[in-house]
Amino acid sequence: MSAQPRLVVSAPASGHGKTAIAVGLLAATAARGIPAAGFKVGPDHTDAAYLGLAAGRPGRNLDPRLVGAQRIAPLFLHGAGSAQLSVIEGAMGLFDSLTGQPEIDGTAAVAAALHAPVVLVVDVAAMGHSLAALVHGFRMFDEMVHLGGVILNRVASPRHEQMLRTALDDIGMPVLGALRRGDLPNVLPARAHGPVPVAHRTVEASRAVRRLGEAVAGALDLDRLMALAASAPALPGPIWTPADVVGGEVFDQRPVVALAGGPGAPFTYVETAELLTAAGADVAVVDPLRDESLPAGTRALIVGAGLPEGYAEELSANRRLGNAVAQFARDGWPVVAEGVALPWLGREFDGRPMCGVFDVSATTADQTIAGYREATAPTTSTLAPAGARITGYKQHRAIVTPRAGTVPAWTWSGGNPEGFVWRQVHASQLGLHWAAAPEIAKRIVSAALAGPAPMSPPPRPQMPPQPQHQPPMPPAQPQPSQAQPVQPQPQQPQPQQPQPVQIQQVPSQPVHAVTPPADPAPQQPVPAESQPTQSFAAQPPTAQPQTPPAPVQQSPGYPQPAPMQQSPAHPQPLSFQPPAGYPQSPPADQPPAHHFDQPPIHLVDQPGQSFHQHEQPGSPMSQPARASVQPGPSHAQAQHQGRPEHLGSPVQPPGHLSGSPAQASVPPGNDQQPPQPSAPRPAASSSNLNDTVDITIS
């Protein structure tokens, strides 16, 4: 049992100001010299970074969908440590959920799992006595959630405040503070910057946190808030510790593992660095936007999904680091790339040159693709063994063409494969929380100690006839004496040069917010409970014979892929253009299907608004979320389905990595094989995560 003062800051919907108030509350507490800790419900890196900046210690995420409900309390106790106040900021509204299943991954579910009182932030700019009805409904909706008080935001006048206090007093709900219109400054940096201002410890980010702390300190009753937090009961169960979950023998040598981030925050979840350290790595921070080289002695590189896509221009401009990363990957060292790191390893992003490790290009679409995916590893890689299953989260606007290599990084039910596995590089746009699979850290350290993967020529692939890609034979020249058959000119051997990996070309398709069409001849997926358990192994993946890709033309500072037309003196690169009638791959980045039975979330920018703005009064996103989401089980149904546990769910927890290696349809570790036609996939029903739902979140 561990007594930890804590409270959850939530709201009826997005746009009521809970992010700014949560950051200000932590800053005001820290200014008093009281140790504090900040947490964010859900996968969002940005809010967690600002909560950490305000508290003076790393901000952490609590996401039941990513790590499993059983790990929420242990992870919280680990992150809270000796803090005398822990503030958990919710996501969206108190009973909302990105997946439509708030009883599993909503803010109320996390509050119930932590037995933490909830403080409701309400924008009352256009409300009177109706506030009492609203608050009473939130208090009575779920008996597992304790609503401990209300903070009034954007109060119009003293008379307005008195009216609201009287209405709440009639239902016995305490008012823990009131902020007038303009009291809460709109000072947090634009959402598009993500956690970068915190990672770089910019003056703008520090000033914003300080001003929010000053505003909250003068408007909220901090003593009553501290007393409410202290009323939370002691939490039972163990405390999550990286050394215990990594387990096993720790390597004697400590290889240097470079982790993308800045001095103020990493571009991944905080537990990633802790798990790597526990596994025996010496973690060094590398800033993809500023550093010009990898840390000395680097033997593995991790780039998490927290780096925003809006920094593509800065990534392209840092050519020295891009060249170093490209050479590092081609030399066979382990590289794990998530989110924007996949386009970064490609040839170009919106026309800007990138590292050139893979012969892929990326463009920014108008819509944002976001949602959870229950992914399966189709082949053994540096990150996971074949058949391993884990839940990840993706949020991006970059459309990568082709979407996947011959050996993809991940597959999921009803969706296209995604990402690339080549030698010891694992790249995809899916972000993982390593606390769900701590074995990943040991695999990375083991691969770093084993050294680079060797390269050797693979057997010549067997491909269908490709007459459209064969250069025409020169016509026979008549000879004066007798006709001789024309012999092809021998090809001169060319020195091998580093160049991008040739990838199966898939025609790019425009992204539309529509339900993906069903593929022909759907197959029924194998139930998870019938599959044997597949755990991550601590041994490094077996290196497979590889061959250097074909030579390429060099651009200033960055290697580029070879053009389609080549001189007869150069060997023809491996490529594949299916003939007429040959099975075609599914179109590019359509939202894939999901294991869970709920509507998917497909986030779409609204005209004149930027996606997922900070919740601050007066900002363009200071309106309640609008969603056409099919709700999960009703409140009454949830109570009859094991609701006392509140987080109990028939859904398999992400930490239970199961699957059958027999599901892998490609040889492990070889991304140089010819493209293979995709097998028919199950049709996407209208009740899974891949149905399209337009929603605005702030």
Residue 38, CB half-sphere, CA atoms under 13 Å: how many?
Answer: 29
Q: Please provide the DSSP assignment of 263-295 as one string.
A: SS-BSS-HHHHHHHHHHT-EEEEE-TTT-SSPP
Backbone dihedral angles phi then psi of residue 89, each to the nearest 5 degrees: -85, 130
Which DSSP category does 521 fall into? S
What is the number of other CB atoms lying within 10 angstroms of the CB of residue 4?
23
Chain-centroid distance of CA 677 in Å reads 28
Which DSSP category does 152 fall into? E
Backbone dihedral angles phi then psi of residue 563, each to the nearest 5 degrees: -70, 165
Q: Please provide the DSSP assignment of 418-465 as one string.
A: BBEEETTEEE-S-B--GGG-THHHHHHHHHHHH-PPP--PPPPPP---
Domain 243-455+587-598 architecture: 3-Layer(aba) Sandwich (3.40)
Contact 350, 356 (CB under 8 A): no
CA distance linking residue 84 with residue 11, whole number of Å? 23
Q: What pLDDT score was predicted for residue 551?
A: 39
Which is nearest to 584 in space by CA: 511, 506, 664?
A: 506
Which is nearest to 383 in space by CA: 422, 325, 342?
A: 422
Which is nearest to 658 in space by CA: 377, 272, 336, 338?
A: 377
Joined tokens for residue 32: 């008093």
Which is nearest to 643 in space by CA: 163, 101, 118?
A: 101
CA distance linking residue 391 with residue 435, whole number of Å? 11
Contact 352, 337 (CB under 8 A): no
**Domains 6-230 and 243-455+587-598 in one fold:** yes
> CA–CA distance from 406 to each of 328, 348, 427, 467, 667 (Å)?
22, 20, 13, 22, 10
Contact 11, 122 (CB under 8 A): yes
What is the number of other CB atoms lying within 10 angstroms of the CB of residue 658?
18
CA distance linking residue 436 with residue 457, whole number of Å? 37
- Strands 175-180 and 147-155, by their bridges, are parallel
**Residue bearing tokens 């337009």:** 694
Contact 150, 122 (CB under 8 A): yes
**Residue bearing tokens 């990363």:** 325
Q: What pLDDT score was predicted for residue 149?
A: 98
CA distance linking residue 579 with residue 556, whole number of Å? 36
Backbone dihedral angles phi then psi of residue 393, each to the nearest 5 degrees: -130, 140
Joined tokens for residue 75: 């992870």
Residue 82, CB half-sphere, CA atoms under 13 Å: how many?
Answer: 3
Q: What pLDDT score was predicted for residue 1?
A: 66
Residues of the chain with pLDDT under 50: 456-473, 475-498, 501-698
Q: How many residues does the chain have?
A: 698
Contact 434, 272 (CB under 8 A): yes
The H-or-E segment that residue 299 falls in is strand 298-303
Joined tokens for residue 684: 């996407």
Which is nearest to 132 in space by CA: 184, 176, 174, 89?
A: 174
Q: What is the pTM of this model?
A: 0.71
Q: What pLDDT score was predicted for residue 237?
A: 84
What share of the chain in percent tops pLDDT 90? 61
> CA–CA distance from 49 to each of 37, 135, 182 (Å)?
11, 30, 24
> CA–CA distance from 341 to each of 235, 304, 347, 441, 447 (Å)?
38, 8, 12, 19, 20
Instruction: State the helix-helix crossing angle for 439-450 and 270-279, rounded to 10 degrees.
Output: 50
CA distance linking residue 327 with residue 314, whole number of Å? 20
Secondary structure class of 507 (helix, strand, coil): coil
Of 3.30.470.10, 3.40.50.300, 3.90.950.10, 3.30.160.70, which CATH number belongs to 6-230? 3.40.50.300
Which DSSP category does 200 fall into? T
CA distance linking residue 509 with residue 286, whole number of Å? 35
Backbone dihedral angles phi then psi of residue 492, each to the nearest 5 degrees: -80, 135
CA distance linking residue 294 with residue 297, whole number of Å? 8
CA distance linking residue 474 with residue 583, whole number of Å? 32
What is the 3-class SS of 192-246, one letter each residue? Answer: HHCCHHHHCCCHHHHHHHHHHHHHHHHHECHHHHHHHHHCCCCECCCCCCHHHHH
Which is nearest to 122 in space by CA: 9, 278, 268?
A: 9
Joined tokens for residue 623: 């309106």
Any idea where the domains of the chain sit in the sequence?
6-230, 243-455+587-598
Query: Terminus-to-terminus CA distance in the chain, angstroms?
Result: 35
Q: What pLDDT score was predicted for residue 500?
A: 52
CA torsion sign for 640, 645, 647, 650 is: negative
Strand-pairing partners, residue 258, are 284, 301
Contact 208, 52 (CB under 8 A): no
- Strands 282-286 and 36-41, by their bridges, are unpaired
Contact 312, 341 (CB under 8 A): no
CA dihedral 684, 687, 689, 695 (to 10 degrees): 120
Contact 407, 379 (CB under 8 A): yes
Secondary structure class of 604 (helix, strand, coil): coil
The H-or-E segment that residue 118 falls in is strand 118-123
